[in-house]
Chain A
Amino acid sequence: MGRYLIKRSLTLILVLLGVSLLVFGFVRLIPGDPAVVMLGERATPESIERVRAQLGLDKPVYEQYLIFIANALRGDLGTSVLRQEPVTREILRRFPATIELAFGAMIVATFLGIPLGILSAVKRNSWFDASSMVVALTGVSMPIFWLGLMLIFLFAVTLHWLPSGARLDANAQYEPITNLVLLDSLLQANLALFAQGLRHLILPAVALATIPMAIIARMTRSSMLEVLNQDYVRTARAKGLKERSVILRHALRNALLPVITVVGLQVGILLSGAILTETVFSWPGIGRWLVDAIYARDYPIVQGVTLTIAIIFVLINLVVDILYTLVDPRVRLDA
């Protein structure tokens, strides 16, 4: 295990270096002078010089990269061009909103997807099985930004049941501690604020959860079906255990192993999906910030957010791999 971890960590460092090189090269690959592209043709020579110096474009490329890496390691991802804000600080300020959204979506996806998969497997070939698998297949085929807009149209515009976007009402009194609205409102014992935050979270979380939920349901179903054919399940039934106990204690525990990996692999989908969901629901996370930065050609922000998301993505994939080997001792570690 120790050797495996060391090898994986070394590979991780190399991959992250490669990722940083790609993200760094991103701005250098822009055709023309990045400073002119960012500021527009009518910018004054002084401001172009200022941005060139700020981006370090006046130094040789390898030196620029070394500075970029050294700064990134110290947690400094540069300064945004338009508002002159430190990118790292702004990412930290906005990231809790994205985490809250992704977490809400993950809860919806697992707590609906797994029971749906179990029921489909147990009632195999019934109308319930057929219809839930049709729903799952439709779910993975749906553009989530469309689903989000439909949810807004139905539940916010037409029925007025839920708000159409943002994390809180415009006039809400909110003093951020961690910037996680639900957590902060509990810490401040403000149940009204908690309820409001929850109401705002429901629609975007459901929209973002659709694809992961469908994938988790399909995976749970096929994994359950495999396990239900095993000898030990027949033994459990033969010795007279209640069906409920056979399903939940004997079959489910073994069936959930592959599901864990699948749940972990949804993180990429959640992070990509957050870009679209946040845009649709005016959710002030890093996804929407990235899209705005692309429109404004504010490349330090684009670089910083891209790098941050890639690092999180790589780290979570590693954690899922390691968790899997811990949970399932049969997985051999061929270091």
Chain B
Amino acid sequence: MSTSITTTAPTAPPVAKSLTRPPRSLWRDAGQRLLSNRLAQLGMVIVIFFLFLAIFVPVLFPYNPRIDSDLASQLQPPSLEHPMGTDEQGRDVMRRIAHGAQASLGVGIGAVLIAVIIGTVLGLVSGYVGRSLDLGLMFGMDILLSFPGLLLAIAVVALIGPGLRNSLLAISIVSIPIYARIARSTVLSLKQQEFITAAHAVGAQGGRILSRHVFPNSLSPILVTATLGIAAAILETAALGFLGLGQQPPYPEWGAMLADSVKYLTSGAWWVLLFPGLMIMLTVLGFNLLGDGLRDALDPRLRAN
């Protein structure tokens, strides 16, 4: 015999509304912290400015470097007509700098994007599967990390030939191990956690566990590292361009423009030297400020100082 139990709904104790905060997501929280950080704001402004140059200038002001030459106005100092002067072929330095943004940012962002995708997948799978696959893959990453980054990039370009696309390839190969390691360490630290076991228990497959449960947890360190990585990749692109292994003439690229300026050092043409380098520095500074800001915003514990 069962006795029916009559239950009255328990009345909830009155909640002091003022003590609770509306729930906010981690990302919105971080976004607000990022937006209130002065240095990060500066970084964002710089990055947006150069992204604007890279995306819109080639569309709005088409430029054909093959026919750009005005031998009557070689190496003229900055003036109203040419705010950043002209180079040894009489080309307007400011125009070439504006058009060079596409090469620097394109390679910088593109190389990091490729490295993040390949590196994250390798790291996640390697850490999840473990055993000999993990051993082999991480050994391969250790070998790539045994070379100073720029040296390996130079060696790769020496092998596959100079050019902008090949620099992109070389820089992304060099950066893959960094992201593979981050992703792998997230997997290893989460593997034994209860929510992963729970996902297993309800029958989730490896791919789903990695993409839905593990990957989101590695997103914030990867985002920070990738932003700082773009800064490093832009410096490497410029270095390859400077060594003549990147963008080939007559197409404008900041590093290659600096290599051209060397010949005119002694003739006092400071403008062909100053401005392209300044642009590299500003862009890299922008991404560094943004990356530092992202790190502080995503990990408030580090904000102690």
Q: Report yes or no: A18 in contact with B148, Cβ–Cβ below 8 A.
A: no
Q: Report yes or no: B245 in contact with A306, Cβ–Cβ below 8 A.
A: no
Q: Is B235 on the interface with A (CB-CB < 8 A)? A: yes
**Nearest CB to that of A268 among chain B residues?**
B148
Q: In angstroms, how far is the closest chain B Cβ from the Cβ of A64?
A: 17
Per-position binary interface string of chain A over residues 288-313, scored 1 when its CB falls under 8 Å from any chain B CB and 0 otherwise: 00110011000000100010011001
Q: Report yes or no: B288 in contact with A141, Cβ–Cβ below 8 A.
A: yes
Bound Cα distance A294, B139 (Å): 28
Q: Report yes or no: B149 in contact with A19, Cβ–Cβ below 8 A.
A: no
Q: Is A232 on the interface with B (CB-CB < 8 A)? A: no
Q: In angstroms, how far is the closest chain A Cβ from the Cβ of B127?
A: 18
Q: For residue A226, which residues in chain B have a CB less than 8 angstroms away from its CB?
A: 304
Q: Is A157 on the interface with B (CB-CB < 8 A)? A: yes
Q: Which of A14, A26, A150 contacts B139 (CB 8 A)?
A: A14
Interface residues on B, range: 35 or more
Q: Report yes or no: A143 in contact with B239, Cβ–Cβ below 8 A.
A: yes
Q: For residue A158, which residues in chain B have a CB less than 8 angstroms away from its CB?
A: 268
Q: For residue A294, which residues in chain B have a CB less than 8 angstroms away from its CB?
A: 154, 158, 245
**Nearest CB to that of A287 among chain B residues?**
B151
Q: Report yes or no: B305 in contact with A225, Cβ–Cβ below 8 A.
A: yes
Q: In angstroms, how far is the closest chain A Cβ from the Cβ of B305?
A: 5
Q: Report yes or no: B258 in contact with A149, Cβ–Cβ below 8 A.
A: yes
Q: For residue A269, which residues in chain B have a CB less than 8 angstroms away from its CB?
A: 148
Q: In angstroms, how far is the closest chain B Cβ from the Cβ of A264?
A: 13
Q: Report yes or no: A276 in contact with B242, Cβ–Cβ below 8 A.
A: yes
Q: Report yes or no: B265 in contact with A306, Cβ–Cβ below 8 A.
A: no
**Nearest CB to that of A31 among chain B residues?**
B160
Q: Report yes or no: B273 in contact with A149, Cβ–Cβ below 8 A.
A: yes
Per-position binary interface string of chain B over residues 240-269, scored 1 when its CB falls under 8 Å from any chain A CB and 0 otherwise: 001111000000000100100110011010
Bound Cα distance A137, B304 (Å): 19
Interface residues on A, range: 35 or more
Q: For residue A142, which residues in chain B have a CB less than 8 angstroms away from its CB?
A: 277, 280-281, 284
Q: Report yes or no: B242 in contact with A141, Cβ–Cβ below 8 A.
A: no
Bound Cα distance A21, B101 (Å): 37
The winner among A146, A147, A149, A158 for most chain B CB atoms within 10 A is: A146
Q: Report yes or no: A290 in contact with B281, Cβ–Cβ below 8 A.
A: no
Q: For residue A153, which residues in chain B have a CB less than 8 angstroms away from its CB?
A: 265, 270, 273
Q: Is B289 on the interface with A (CB-CB < 8 A)? A: yes
Bound Cα distance A18, B262 (Å): 39
Q: Is B159 on the interface with A (CB-CB < 8 A)? A: yes
Q: Is A138 on the interface with B (CB-CB < 8 A)? A: yes
Q: In angstroms, how far is the closest chain B Cβ from the Cβ of A145?
A: 5
Q: A146-B280, A153-B265, A157-B265 are in contact. Are A141 and B231 (CB under 8 A)?
A: yes
Bound Cα distance A247, B117 (Å): 46
Q: Report yes or no: B268 in contact with A26, Cβ–Cβ below 8 A.
A: no
Q: Report yes or no: A143 in contact with B238, Cβ–Cβ below 8 A.
A: yes
Q: Is B146 on the interface with A (CB-CB < 8 A)? A: yes
Bound Cα distance A149, B269 (Å): 12
Q: Report yes or no: B155 in contact with A143, Cβ–Cβ below 8 A.
A: no
Bound Cα distance A222, B304 (Å): 10
Q: In angstroms, how far is the closest chain B Cβ from the Cβ of A125?
A: 10
Q: For residue A271, which residues in chain B have a CB less than 8 angstroms away from its CB?
A: 148, 151
Q: Is A140 on the interface with B (CB-CB < 8 A)? A: yes
Q: In angstroms, how far is the closest chain B Cβ from the Cβ of A133?
A: 10
Bound Cα distance A15, B245 (Å): 28
Q: Which chain B residues numbered 140 to 168 have a C-beta less than 8 Å away from chain A?
A: 140, 142-143, 146-151, 154-155, 158-159
| 6 sample A-B contacts, Cβ–Cβ < 8 Å, listed by A number | A15-B146, A19-B146, A142-B277, A157-B265, A309-B147, A310-B147
Closest 3 CB pairs of A and B: A146-B277, A272-B150, A141-B285
